[in-house]
Every structure is written in structure tokens, then in C-alpha cells.
Structure 1
């Protein structure tokens, strides 16, 4: 027995050393390029960082400011071209397929199968996350884009009613204007212009028109009477924004509603994260309702992290742990509570979520069932990036140039839809 103890001790020490080395080999760096830089978004990103660090990995943050993500995509392209891609990047919608076609994304099918993603995700969303049947991205959340946020105290003082349709919207805007507050908080950037535009299109034209015009890019829908009405209504909204809107970031516009400087804002549910970060309570300090006329439909925006091919077992392991963490119930809850969105993972416990989120989740499920779930073109979910950019440009030109008629804009939209 005594003679065997040194051997046993040496064996135990060797096993311990092997375990430590194995752990060190598994712990790696994961660099994430994203554009979550506003208050609520930054908290959400911090939750993901904490989750990865808890697994022993090093998080390397690469945040690029700009809510629409255009600046981030410019940086990402230069990184990939130079052969220095991050482990993961915030990419979504058809752009995922475009990146995958370039051969630079990694398959995370082994993670998806182990975690049973196919049974946890609605088919329309899992399809977006795949390329040729393999997962190449992990979805973080579901945003509803067609929301209207209102400051109830400002509305009370103005004697205005939170609108349910576009006639009521303009009645409320007029009352707010007379009360001396900015009726509509807005940031003059093309994606913000289009966020308002697509909500007008959905609220006035309905789901079938929206799908034909803004998803299928049907020339007859883009150049028809309904589109003319949509454009005319869209331009009316601008009269109720302020002269300092051009170039303003979306979260600064949300801040105007938070502070009572403006009455309302049409923006996706990430705006709710700004209210919450400011200590405001839904139903009391702010109201969230479907954008006018669109209560029975749901324009969705799904954030996702595309996984790029990386070298080194440690980095691959860190990347796969990142993918698994993104879909974990704990992270889905923490991230979405901060972001203002709802979990993309189905059958989640929403007891910690507020009434706005619960309503969003209910409407999401109902819209999916009814076939009134439509992708947001403003937020990169509906059409290829080149077409999206061309159409956004037309809408912002129309918004900013009073001399451009609705018919001029319609002709340009038909041409823009052919961009490649």
C-alpha cells in the first residue's frame, strides 16, 4: 500500500494537470462585432458578455455605433476582405444568405442539433438562420417594428387620444401641436424614415398590399392607387416632426418622448428598452400600441449573430459556446428584458416581462397562425441589401423633397426594386 501511494499521487497530479490544460485549451477569445450601443442595447450586450465570461472565455467587444447597422457592415466587409473576420457579427435577414454564399460563415449545426433548435424556433425564423439546410447564425430575439409609443401625461395635457388609425393619429398630432409640444419624435435617417413609411403602408394598405409591394416588389402594387395614398399620408407625418430631426439617432428621439418633449414615436420595440433604462413603467409612464391601423399584423425584425470561420480549437469552442448561450433560456430572458424585444425561443416563461412584451408575444403567435406575420424591409428582413438600400433612398428623398410628387416617387420605387 505504502509503495503505491507515490504512484497514485503522481497519477492524480497528472490527471489534474491534464484537466487544467484541457480547460485552458477550451477557453478562447470570442470577438463580436455589433451595433448595440444605446442604453438598453448596451445592457443587453453586457448580458451576453457575462454569459460567455462565465464559461471561461474572453469577450472582445467590437461595437460600432449607428442603430441601423450600416457603419457596422462597412467595417465588417473590410475586416472579412482583409482576412481578419470576427468570430461573430450582428447580421440578419437575407444578408445572412449573401454572406454564407461567399463561403465565409461556419456551420453550427452540431450546436443546433444538440440544443434542438428546430423544435424551439418557428419555421420562418429557423429558415432565415440556415444556408443550404445548415445553421450559420444564432437568433437572439424577435422585435415587433410596427409600434407607436406615447407619453400619456403629454397626451392628457393636450386633451388627445392615443390613436388607433391614421385619422386619429393626425387628430392627436394636431392637438399636441396646439399644446406646444412636438407631436412626433423622429430621427432623419433613411432607416428611420422607412420605419414610419412601412407602418403607414401596413396600416393603410393591409398585409396583402404590404407583402405585394414591399416583399414581392410587385410593380403594380408599387405604382398603384394604394401606394399613392400611402405616400401622401407618409408625407403628412413630417409636418408634425421638428426641424432638428435630420441626423438624430433613434434613441435620442425616444428620449424626447421619455422626457415629455414630444408626444409619440413610431419605432420598433427596442425603443421600449430606452424607457425601461430611464426607469419608466409601461402603462403608467408610457404607452405602447400597434402603429395606426396595424393591430392585426406584425412586422418582425430578428437580430442574429452570424458565425464566421475562425482558426484554432479554442476559438471554435468559444464560438460554439456563444451560439449555445444565445439560445439558452436564461440568456433569452435577460437579453430581451433589456432589449425590449421578446424571446425567439418558443414556450418561454414570460412572467418577468411587462405588458408590452406579453402583448407582443401574443400578437406574434396570433399573426404567425393567421398568416399576418410580415418581415420588416426597413430592418433588413425582407429583400436583398441592394434593393433595400435603393428603396430606402427613394423614400427618404420623397420625405425630404417637397417638390417630388407621389407619382414621381412611385416611378422611382419601381426602378429601385430592380436594383441588384
Structure 2
């Protein structure tokens, strides 16, 4: 039973909570005690003749739990223990519930009761082990300070927000937004028509005092149409080449610093039956992300920045060379790259099956949860030394947030030093504040965080396009589509011509 293909829900029971309305409250339906081999799908089939109606059982049981804790609190529909007390709604009530419930659109609030002060639905795409470990540290702080609020982790899987963003737009347009939702700092806010749907957070940032300890580069990046719509929680470094030192040592290789060295290492590793570069593509953003690293490593920081501000033409010879390099790099990757996502790519390195993985430092969260810090190390992607590919995660406040006061408390919380330290030591990123003390982080991970913080202070900061910071959404989407097509046909001239047209569509005439 795979309930989490579209929506992953992870929630810890709060203290005193009150139920919202549900047709089959405790006075209707029937109690049921879970038996061996039971599952919610099997029970939905048994009682309703519809295996997909398990959501109705989850909602009814959670509403009952709000009144009577002898009923189980269901936080994961895939997990049912022998002896769990459930409330099975009537078939009519289950059909009524399912008629208006769509998990793919993030209707998760209907699955849970409300606290005395309502709910807080946190829309996001953090569903992997390392990602959730980070945001759950924030949740624990919020729950301690707001015990009368039912906090709901409304996570929709899909690396880089691929699936979440579409569902989020639909909810905003329908007038049924999350109370707060995750987005990348920078121009990604344009995806959500901020003037219409988002509340500026400049006053909240000023009130909390966080602007006094926020890097100037980040503050400038946050401004969209003259206002700030994103409260940043972290800063990720996008240009990291994760390296398995055990694999390299066995192969007798040093860490490559440029593409000539990388391709030489690739041939050596392939000759020894080792995958040179672990790569997963199933989450949709990985090809674009990897090519951005290749493009920066090939043309350098000045030309890369110029390509996106119109001062350098996409007809430049460096773009063609970057495509040639990318073509060769793809031949250094695992054959099953299309069937695994970004987590699968870093896991190949963690499991000694690949030497390298080019991915942002959110991959460090997977290194941490797999206890691989002693042999999986970080290096700049080839040719990118002296640069810092910036990706920043944050949260926005919808104008029509159903529980706005709860959302504002969450927004204020994530600006705090203690919250950012708790989050980032698990997520693999550094704080969006300059005063975090990385010496307080667990000893096995301090070195990376201090390294990233030092590099952020001294390196050339470059916003990453794939993750919403460096270009308007329509241009970033075209860029990604071109890279995907190139990975299939390997036509350098066609891809470069398409890049030229995309830049012109974005308002930058090309020579």
C-alpha cells in the first residue's frame, strides 16, 4: 500500500485538540480493532468496496481521537499496528468524504482534527530522510510553544518542488491555500503572482530583527517587485561534488578539479567497473541542476552571470563547449539514472557504487542519516572553485491563509537563531543568519558547515536558476526543458539555438 506517492504526511500528536466537523463523528460508524495483516486499504475494500477510501477511515479515526485518545492517531496511512482502535465511518459518510477529498492537491487538513487554536498546514516538498529531519526540528519547537495548534506537515514528494509547485498554484487560485508554504528565495515568488496571492513579509522581518544578521546578498535576492515575500531559513551550496574517498583510493585517483581531470578519472573508473558519477533524474530537476554546474565550470563566473543578465550571448563558444562537456559527462553516469531520483544518486556514492555525485548540499542530509561522513567528502564541482552556487529555502505567507496568526508565529519562529541552528544541522545547509554558532553542531558534521559558511563569506555568490533564484520561472522552465531534450538527442547545435531563443523570449536580444 503506497499512500505516499503523491502526499507524505508526518505529524506528531499534539496535546489538547478539538475536532473539526466530519459527517461520521463518533456517534456514527463502528469501532474496529486492527488485526494482523490489516491495512487501511484492505479495510476500505471490506467496508466500502473501494480500496482508495482509506483516507475516510484515517480522517474519521483522527476526529475520534481528538475526543477520545483510546482511538489511534493515524499519522502515516501505511502504518497500522495490531490492536489499534479505529473508527470506520458508514459507507455513505465515506463516499461523501471522498467526493471532496483530493490528496494530490494537498487536502491534508481534512485528515486531522483542529487544535483549540486551529491548524497550521505547512506546504512543502521535504519528504526524504535528511530533509524531514531538518524541518521536523522546527516543528518540535513550534509544537512546544504552540501546544493548542495542530501542525500538519503537508509534504508533496518530488525533489526540488517539481510536484508541489503545481499543486500549490492550484490551491492559491482556488482560494484554499496552505497556511504557509515553502519556496526558494528569489524570483521563484513570481510563479505565485505575489501581488495577488502573497503577503509581503518585510514588516515581520523588521520586527524580528533578523535583517541585522542577514547577508546583504541574500537580502537583495529576496526583493521581488520591491517587496519581500520569502522568509529565508537556510542557504544551500548548489555546486558540490560529493566524493567517495574509499572508491577513489582503491582506484588510485585524486579528486578532479577540472573537466580534463574528471574525464580522465571517468575512463579509469569505468575500466575498473565502477560508476564514475552517480545520477538520478526521476525528480525532474537533476539534469538542469547538473548542467548548470557544468556550464559554470566551463565558462566561469563572469560569463555565466552575463548569460542570465543579457551581457553575454548564448551564442558564445563557451556554451557549446559546456554542452560538449555535458555530453561526455552523461556517458560517465549510471545506466539506471532515469529510474532513480536525486536521493538515489547520492546513495550510489554512500553505498560505494559510484565515485562522485554532483548535487547541492541537501545531499549532505542523506550522508548524515546514513552515517557516511567518514568517507563521503565534499569538493567543488569541476571548474567551479571560488564560486558559491546559492540556493535558499524559505516560507511565504498567503494573503488568504486560513490560520494566518498561526502562520505568522511559524514565520517568526524560523527567523530565530535557535530554530535555524536546529534545522540546518540536519538539513545540510547553513543558516540564513550570520550569527549561528556551528561549534554547537554535532562534532561529526561541524567541518562541513563551517566550510560552507566560510566559503559563503569569501566566494563569488551566484544565484542558481534551476532552484528559482537566478531567472524568472518561465525562462528557468525553458532552460530545463532544453537540457532534458539535449540529454536525449545530444544535439549541441540545436540546444544552443534553443538557449538563444529562450533568452530572447525572456527579454534579452541575442547576437
The equivalent of 1:14 in structure 2 is none
Report 1 or 2 for greater relative contact order, CA contacts < 8 Å, sequence distance ≥ 6. Answer: 1
Shift of the 212–134 alpha-carbon distance from structure 1 to 2, 3 Å rule, reads closer
Gaps spanning 5+ residues in structure 2: where?
1-113, 507-511
Give the 3-state SS of the residue equivalent to 1:103 in structure 2.
helix
Aligned residue for 1:20?
none
Q: Which residue number corresponds to residue 263 of structure 1?
A: 355
Aligned to 2:501: 415
Identify the residue that residue 165 of structure 1 maps to in structure 2. 258
Q: Give the counterpart of 2:431 among 322, 328, 343.
A: 343
Partner residue, 2:300: 206
CA contact (8 A) 1:34 1:62 kept: yes
Q: Which residue of 1 aligns with 2:9?
A: none
Q: Name the SS of the counterpart of 1:175 in structure 2.
A: helix
TM-score (norm 1): 0.87
Q: Distance in 1 between matches of 2:220 and 2:316?
A: 32
Residue 383 of structure 1 deviates from its aligned partner by 0.6
1:241 matched to 2:333? The reply is yes
Match of 2:60 in 1: none
Kindly indicate whether residue 124 of structure 2 is the aligned counterpart of residue 34 of structure 1: yes
- Say if 1:26 and 1:345 are closer, same or farther in 2 by CA, change over 3 A: farther
Distance in 1, Cα, partners of 2:435 & 2:301: 26
Residue 280 and residue 407 in structure 1: after superposition, are their counterparts in 2 closer, same or farther (change >3 A)?
A: same
Shift of 1:377: 1.0
Give the secondary structure class of the aligned counterpart of 1:186.
coil
Structure 1's consecutive aligned runs of 4 or more residues displaced over 6 angstroms after TM superposition are none
Alignment of 1:255-404 (within 5 A): 255-281=347-373, 284-310=374-400, 315-351=403-439, 352=441, 353-367=445-459, 372-402=460-490, 404=491
Superposition deviation, residue 240 in structure 1: 0.9
Map residues 6-155 of structure 1 onto 2, 5 A cutoff. 27-56=117-146, 57-92=149-184, 93-99=186-192, 101-131=194-224, 133-155=226-248
In the alignment of these two chains, the number of paired residues is: 385
The superposition leaves residues 27-83 of structure 1 with CA deviations (integer Å, 9 ceiling, x where unpaired) of 442111100111100111211211211122321121000012121011111111111
Give 1:304 shift. 1.0
Query: How has the CA–CA distance of structure 1 residues 232 and 59 changed in structure 2, closer, same or farther, with 3 Å as cutoff?
Result: same
Deviation at 1:108, TM superposition (A): 3.0
Separation (CA, whole Å) in 2 of partners of 1:418 and 1:363? 34
Conserved 8 A contact 1:390-1:419 = no
Indicate conservation of the 8 Å contact 1:301/1:381, yes or no: yes
Taking the aligned partners of 1:217 and 1:277, their CA distance within structure 2 comes to: 42
Q: Give the whole-Å Cα distance in 1 for the aligned partners of 2:168 and 2:192.
A: 11
Q: After superposition, what is the alpha-carbon deviation per residue over 1:327-376, rounded to whole angstroms, capped at 9, x for unaligned?
A: 11111111111110111111221112521221111111102xxxx21111
CA RMSD, 1 decimal: 1.9
SS in 1 for 2:241: strand
Whether 1:196 aligns to 2:282 is no
1:142–1:300 CA contact under 8 A, matched in 2: yes
CA contact (8 A) 1:96 1:129 kept: no
| Deviation of the 1:412 alpha carbon | 0.8
**What is the rounded CA distance, in whole Å, between the counterparts of 2:389 and 2:254 in structure 1?**
24
**C-alpha distance in 2 between matches for 1:133 and 1:58:** 34
Q: Which runs of no fewer than 5 residues in structure 1 stay unpaired? A: 1-23
Work out the CA distance in 2 between the residues paired with 1:27 and 1:133: 34
